[in-house]
Amino acid sequence: MKETVGTHGLVFNEPLLWEKGAAGRNGFSMPSRDVPESPLDEALAGAGPDFPDLSEVDVVRHFTRLSQWNFGVDSGMYPLGSCTMKYNPKTNERQAALPGFAGAHPLLPAELCQGTLQLMYDLQEFLAAITGLPAVTVQPAAGSQGELTGMLIFAAYHKSQGKARHKILIPDTAHGTNPASAALCGFKAVAVASNESGVLSPETVAGLMDEDTAGIMITNPNTLGLFEENIHEVARIVHDKGGLVYGDGANMNAIMGIVDVSQLGVDVMHLNLHKTFSTPHGGGGPGSGPVCVTSELEPFLPVPRVVKTKKGYELSEDFPQSVGKLHAFYGNFGILIRAYSYILSMGAAGLKKATQLAVLNANYIKEKLKGDFHLPYDRPCMHECVFNDKIQEAYKVTTLDIAKRLMEHGFHPPTVYFPLVVHGAIMVEPTETECKQDIDAFIETMKTIAAEARENPELLHEAPQITKVRRLDETLAARKPCLTG
Partner 1 sequence: MRYLPHTEEEIRSMLQEVGVADLEDLFSTIPGDCRRSGDMPLPKPMTEWELNAHMDQLAGRTAAAPEYRIFMGAGSYDHFIPSATSYLLSRSELMTAYTPYQPEISQGTLQAIFEYQTFITRLLGLDVANASMYDGASALAEALLMAIRITRRKKVAVSSLINPLYRRVVRTYLEPTGYEIVELPYTDEGRTDFSALTGLDELAGVAVQSPNFLGCIEDLPAVSEAVHADKKTMMIACFSEPMAFGLLKSPGSQGADIACGEGQSFGIPRSFGGPGLGIFATRSKFVRNMPGRLVGQTVDKEGRRGFVLTLSTREQHIRRERATSNICSNQGLCATNAIMYLATLGGSGIRQLARLNRDKAEYLKGALAQAGVRIPFTAPTFNEFVAEFPKGFDATWKKLLKKKIVAGLPLAPYYDEMANHYLLCATETCSREDMDLLVKEVTS
Calpha distance 46→340 (Å, rounded)? 45
240-278 exposure pattern, b = at least 16 Cβ within 10 A, e = fewer: eebbbbbbbbbbbbbbbeebebbebbbbbbbbbbbbbbb
Least distance between partner 1 and beta carbon 116 (Å): 5
- C-beta of 266: minimal distance to partner 1 in Å? 10
How far, in Å, CA of 206 to CA of 98, rounded?
Answer: 52
Residues in the chain: 485
Smallest distance from the beta carbon of 30 to partner 1, in angstroms?
A: 6
Nearer to partner 1, 31 or 211 (CB): 31
User: In the complex, what is the shortest distance from the CB of residue 184 to partner 1, in angstroms, rounded to a whole number?
Assistant: 6
Cβ-Cβ contacts under 8 Å for 164 (sequence gap 6 or more): 155, 158
Cβ–Cβ contacts within 10 Å for residue 191, how many?
A: 11
Beta carbon of residue 459, minimum distance to partner 1 (angstroms, whole number): 15
CB of 221: closest distance to partner 1 in angstroms? 9
Helices 436-455 and 333-369 cross at an angle (nearest 10°) of 60
Is 160 or 454 the residue whose CB approaches partner 1 more closely?
Answer: 160
Q: For residue 49, what are the β-bridge partners?
A: none
CA distance 429 to 365: 9
CB of 314 to partner 1, least distance (A): 14
Identify which of residues 104 and 391 has a Cβ nearer to partner 1 in the complex: 104
Report which DSSP code applies to 316: E
Residue 196 CA to residue 179 CA, distance in Å, equals 23
* Least gap, CB of 203 to partner 1 (angstroms): 18
Which lies closer to partner 1 via its Cβ, residue 69 or residue 394?
Answer: 69
For residues 328 and 336, is the Cβ–Cβ distance under 8 A?
A: no
Amino acid (one-letter) located at 464:
P
Q: Which is nearer to partner 1, 66 or 307 (CB)?
A: 66
Instruction: Pick the closer one to partner 1 by CB: 1 or 328.
Output: 328
Between 177 and 294, name the residue whose CB sits nearer to partner 1. 177
Closer by beta carbon to partner 1, 307 or else 394: 307
What 8-state DSSP symbol labels residue 326?
S
Distance CA 27, CA 140 (A): 36
